[in-house]
Amino acid sequence: MTHFMVLPLIITAVMAPALLLFRDQLAIQRTLSLVTTAVLAVICAMLMVQAATGEITVYKMGNWDAPFGIVMVMDRLSALMITLTALLALGVLIYSIGTKWDARGAHFHPLYQFQLFGLFGAMMTGDIFNLFVFFEVLLIASYGLMVHGGGRLRTQAGVQYIIYNLAGSTLFVFSLATIYAVFGTLNMADMAAKAATLPPEDAALVRTAGAMVLLVFAVKGALLPLHFWLPNTYTHAPAPVAALFAIMTKVGAYAVLRVFTLIFGPSLALTGTLFSDLIMPAALITAVVGMVGVMAGGSLARVAAFAAVGSMGTLFIAIAPFTEGATVAALYYLIHSTLAAGALLLVIDMVQARRGTCALELRAPIVQSGLVAALFFAAAIATTGLPPLSGFIGKLFVLDALRDHPLSVWVWGVVLITSLVAVVGFAQAGSVVFWKAHAVKADATPAAPATGVALAGVGGLLALIVLMTVAAGPLTDYLTDTAAQLYAPEGYIGAVLGGGS
Amino acid sequence: MELLVAIIIGSLTAVGTYLMLRMRTFPVIVGLSLLAYAVNFFLFASGRLMLNSPPLLYVDSPHTDALPQALTLTAIVIAFGMTAVAVIMALTAYLNGGTDKLDMENEAPEVTPEERGQ
């Protein structure tokens, strides 16, 4: 069983170049890609079941002992994240095959597997330099996917996205160098063990290093004022790619949770509540700007992009206190907002394919208007956090967990008011697209209706949202254990550094 | 020597940042390359500056830390690859859009007939 935990990495790393061999045989590529992603989902779920027992599995690359070699660590949080990634990826892949998105440019499927490789790696690694390397892997795959299908605006948005992330990566290396200069190690468990023994005169360096890493993760997580890459990227990326990118912002959130509970944890005297105090105001502003953007989007894609920014704000509000209760809420909301953003972006693509544009201007009613409207309605309810779907439960958790926070008035005010603003924004957008459209006569030839496969992709994501609403109890039990594991880093440190294998 | 290295890193970073803010693809990519040089120097220096010392751990004489050198090598390779991608993408965007400006208008995404399934 020891090699089992790196299977998600091995499979994706092997399948990505293997799929390249079938570059001209789309049918084979599709089958292989689907089977691979489905198998990955099963493996990740098995790893999650294994992690649920509380066991922290460590895989030493090349059998070099930590902290000298690179380790992969599978604890509850990592297992949860890779499972979420695999499920989202499966739904999105089904959709992109059903809508032939994958045929609109070269190498969709190999890049998709490389993207998953980078994502899994970033979520599993126990070494912070290796985290940087996996960030680059997932970024370089995402550059290719972002401009899949080409087009003037998409390429321009792609350049913006690349430049922004290159700057972010450079900052990441700067912060890694600072970290190495202070800690003398890059293994996260080793850093955590050494953090407590650092002399007080290193406080300035430690705080600087921590703040720089936080900035890098804030770029990834689209935390204001570093969110500028997101709206254009989500708006112009091919819809399935944008839907897959829903997990990319969560990688930032994951990395914040990992690094700022393990290394720069809340109990570390040198940093104290510095990071919590930095994240909270930024998160509040992110939520406000995101949801105001929903009102002023101008096109459905941009509405969804800003909704994604806003949901990251809510997520970081729940992360910021770095307490167990708030982290449970954050994790629940993280899963929810990933699935909701994915589903919403796919539904918007269905609208766009039928209308010819997703700009919020009056057009004739679309084909299958009722069905698409119902899907949009469901995705919008989930995104804005109205009952009965999991967004409501998620926001309720967040509000409840932050009841005793010093800024609780602000948190409650922002979360509630931004939710209302988002509801208005989505209602406005939906009524223009689906309702007022009936006043316009149809002229152009209607677009082809969706295939069952495409609907299965969207439906699958929405079904997962319903599932996490119904199964909120068992899921929260798992998340409570996850948070407990995060705030007791001795287990993680012991598993990685503890003698022998 | 510390002062010299610090000045080099500082000037490279300053020039790189300035060029990054020019908002046109060519200066931005040159700026990114300069930032990459700066960060490589910085990474190299993070293991402390030592002259004429072998990168070996188990010798009695003074030795330098080998790990930052390995990290720098990794960072160089990654920065090289990423710059190549950025150059190609910038060129494609220039040829497609006829402009090398980085900022964009707030436009709704284009939808090709192919994307409408027609």
Query: Each residue of A398-407: pLDDT tens digit?
Result: 999 888 888 8
Start-to-end CA distance of chain B, whole Å, equals: 66
Instruction: Answer whether residue B90 is part of any domain.
Output: yes
Q: CA of B9: which chain A residue's CA is closest?
A: A174
So what's the pLDDT on residue A88? 94
Angle subtended at Cα A118 by Cα A162 and Cα A384, rounded to the nearest 5 degrees: 75
User: In which domain, by residue range, is B30 found?
Assistant: 2-50+64-101
The pLDDT value given to residue A197: 87
Please state, in angstroms and rounded to a whole number, the distance separating the CA atoms of residues A14 and A170. 29
Model confidence at A445, pLDDT cuts 50, 70, 90, reads low
Sequential DSSP letters for A411-425: HHHHHHHHHHHHHHH
Six-digit token pair at B13? 């970073």
Q: How many CB atoms lie within 10 A of CB A284?
A: 23
Q: What is the model's pLDDT at position A272?
A: 80
Strand partners, A57: A74
pLDDT exceeds cutoff 90 at A2 = no
User: Which pLDDT value is given to residue A501?
Assistant: 42
**Domain containing residue B12: CATH number:** 1.10.287.3510
CA distance B47 to chain A (A): 6
A59-68, A108-117, A212-221, B46-55: segment of lowest average pLDDT: B46-55
The CA distance from B53 to A328, in Å, is 50
pLDDT greater at residue B56 or residue B101: B101
Is the pLDDT confidence value at A157 over 60? yes
B24 within some domain: yes
Q: Read off the pLDDT band of A448 (50, 70, 90).
A: low
CA distance A370 to A105: 31
| Residue B14 falls inside a structural domain | yes
Q: What is the mean pLDDT of residues A267-271?
A: 81
Q: Which range, A96-110, A130-144, A191-205, B85-99, is most confident?
A: A130-144
pLDDT at A245 over 80: yes
Report the pLDDT value the prediction gives residue A98, as an integer from 0 to 100: 86
Contact B116 A447 (CB under 8 A): yes
Domain ranges in chain A are 287-441+451-487
On whether residue B59 sits in a domain, the answer given is no
Average pLDDT of the residues in A143-158:
87
| Shortest Cα distance, chain B CAs vs residue A29, angstroms | 20
Angle at A247 (CA atoms; ends A432, A53), nearest 5 degrees: 130
Q: Please, which pLDDT band fits residue A271 given cuts at 50, 70 and 90? A: confident
Asked if the model's pLDDT at residue A366 lies above 80, the reply is no
CB contacts < 8 A (A, B): 144
Per the model's pLDDT, the better-predicted residue between A200 and A175 turns out to be A175
Residue range A7-31, pLDDT digits in tens: 999 999 999 999 999 888 888 889 9
Domains contained in chain B, number:
1
At A111, the pLDDT band (50, 70, 90 cuts) reads very high
pLDDT score for A408? 86
The predicted-structure confidence for A383-394, as pLDDT tens digits, reads as follows 888 888 888 999
Using only C-alpha atoms, chain B has a radius of gyration, in whole angstroms, of: 21
Q: Is the pLDDT of residue B118 over 50?
A: no
What does the pLDDT read at residue A149?
Answer: 83
Long-range contacts of B16-25 (CB under 8 A, 24+ apart): B20/A163, B20/A167, B23/B101, B23/B102, B23/B103, B24/B100, B24/B101, B24/B102, B25/A159, B25/A163, B25/B90, B25/B93, B25/B94, B25/B100, B25/B102
Residue A436 pLDDT: 81
Please give the residue of chain B at the shortest CA–CA distance from A177. Answer: B43
| Cα–Cα dist A113/A429, whole Å | 34
- Using 50, 70 and 90 to split pLDDT, how confident is the model at A243? very high
Q: Tens digit of pLDDT for each residue in A463-490?
A: 999 999 999 889 999 999 999 998 888 8
**Residues of chain A contacting B39 with CB distance shorter than 8 Å:** 170, 173-174, 177
CB contact under 8 A, A151 and B97: no
What percentage of chain A's residues is helix, strand, coil (to nearest 5)? 75, 5, 20
Residue B6 in any domain: the answer is yes
The predicted pLDDT at position A443 comes to 63
- What is the pLDDT, as a whole number, of residue B117? 56
For residue A302, give the chain B residue with the closest CA: B108
What's the confidence (pLDDT) of residue A274? 86
Q: Is the residue at B57 inside a domain?
A: no
pLDDT band at A78 (very low <50, low <70, confident <90, very high): very high
Is B37 a domain residue? Answer: yes
Q: How far is CA A127 from CA A124, A405, A494, in A?
A: 9, 32, 15
Query: What is the band of A112 on the pLDDT scale with cuts at 50, 70, 90?
Result: very high
Mean pLDDT of A58-64: 85
Of A173, A219, A352, which to mutate for an interface test with B (greatest number of B Cβ within 10 Å)? Answer: A173
For A450-464, the pLDDT digits (tens) are: 678 888 888 899 999
- Mean per-residue pLDDT of chain A: 88
Q: What is the mean pLDDT of residues A70-75?
A: 90
H-run or E-run covering A235: helix A229-236
DSSP-H helix ranges across chain B: 2-20, 25-45, 67-97
The H-assigned helical ranges of A356-431 are 369-384, 390-401, 408-430
pLDDT band for position B115 (50/70/90)? low
Q: What is the pLDDT of residue A446?
A: 59
| Tokens at A400, concatenated | 């409840």
Q: Quick one: average pLDDT of B84-92?
A: 90
pLDDT at B55 over 80: no
Residue A450, pLDDT score: 64
Let me know: does A424 contact A433? Beta carbons within 8 Å.
no
Which of B37, B78, B91 is most worth mutating to test chain A (most A CB atoms within 10 A of its CB)?
B78
A355/A299 Cα distance (integer angstroms): 12
Of B39, B92, B116, the CB nearest to A353: B116
pLDDT in tens, A124-141: 999 999 999 999 999 999
CA distance B62 to chain A (A): 17
Is residue B114 domain-resident?
A: no
Mean pLDDT value across residues A117-127: 93
Residue B112 has its nearest CB partner, among A151, A157, A235, at A151
Helix pair A76-98, A108-124: axis angle to 10 deg: 170
Tell me A434's DSSP state. Answer: I
Q: pLDDT band at residue A500, thresholds of 50, 70 and 90? A: very low
> What band does A54 get if pLDDT is binned at 50, 70 and 90?
confident
ipTM: 0.91
